[in-house]
Amino acid sequence: MSKISEVVQRARAAFNSGRTRPLQFRIQQLEALRRMIKERERDIADALAADLHRNEWNSYNEELIYCLEEIEYTLKKLPEWVLDEPVEKTARTQQDECYIHSEPMGVVLIIGTWNYPFDLTIQPMVGAIAAGNAVILKPSELSENMASLLATIIPQYLDKDLYPVINGGVPETTEVLKERFDYILYTGSTGVGKIVMTAAAKHLTPVTLELGGKSPCYVDKDCDLDVACRRIAWGKYMNSGQTCVAPDYILCDPSIQNQVVEKLKKAVKEFYGEDAKKSRDYGRIISSRHFQRVMGLIEGQKVAYGGTGDAATRYIAPTILTDVDPQTPVMQEEIFGPIMPIVCVRSLEEAIQFINQREKPLALYVFSQNDKVIKKMIAETSSGGVTANDVIIHLSVHSLPFGGVGNSGMGCYHGKYSFMTFSHRRSCLVRSLQKEDPFKGRYPPSLAKMTRH
The answer on pLDDT for 447 being more than 80 is no
pLDDT at 246: 98
CA distances from 128 to 104, 297, 308, 326 (A): 8, 38, 43, 41
**What average pLDDT does this structure show over 77-102?**
97
Q: Assign 438 a pLDDT band (cuts: 50, 70, 90).
A: confident
**What average pLDDT does this structure show over 11-31?**
98
pLDDT at 435: 86
Is residue 158 classed as helix, strand or coil in its secondary structure?
coil
Q: Tell me if 216 sits within 8 A of 360, measured CB to CB.
A: no
Average predicted confidence (pLDDT) for the chain: 96
The answer on pLDDT for 453 being more than 60 is no
Q: Assign 452 a pLDDT band (cuts: 50, 70, 90).
A: low
Which sign does the torsion angle of CA 233, 240, 339, 121 carry? negative
**What average pLDDT does this structure show over 263-292?**
97
Which sign does the torsion angle of CA 58, 63, 67, 69 carry? positive
pLDDT at 451: 62
H or E stretch at 209: strand 207-210
The answer on pLDDT for 253 being more than 90 is yes
CA distances from 73 to 5, 14, 344 (A): 34, 27, 42
Question: Amino acid identity of 264?
Answer: L
Q: What percent of the chain has pLDDT over 70?
A: 99
**What average pLDDT does this structure show over 98-109?**
98
- The residue ranking higher by pLDDT, 22 or 439, is 22
pTM score of the predicted model: 0.95
Q: Tell me if 46 sits within 8 A of 148, measured CB to CB.
A: no
**What average pLDDT does this structure show over 137-165?**
98
The answer on pLDDT for 234 being more than 80 is yes
Q: Assign 1 a pLDDT band (cuts: 50, 70, 90).
A: low
Alpha-carbon span 51 to 45, nearest angstrom: 10
The answer on pLDDT for 323 being more than 90 is yes
The answer on pLDDT for 448 being more than 80 is no
The answer on pLDDT for 441 being more than 90 is no
Q: Catalytic amino acids?
A: 210, 244
pLDDT at 49: 96
Alpha-carbon span 384 to 360, nearest angstrom: 8
Say how far residue 5 (Cα) sits from the centre of its chain. Answer: 27
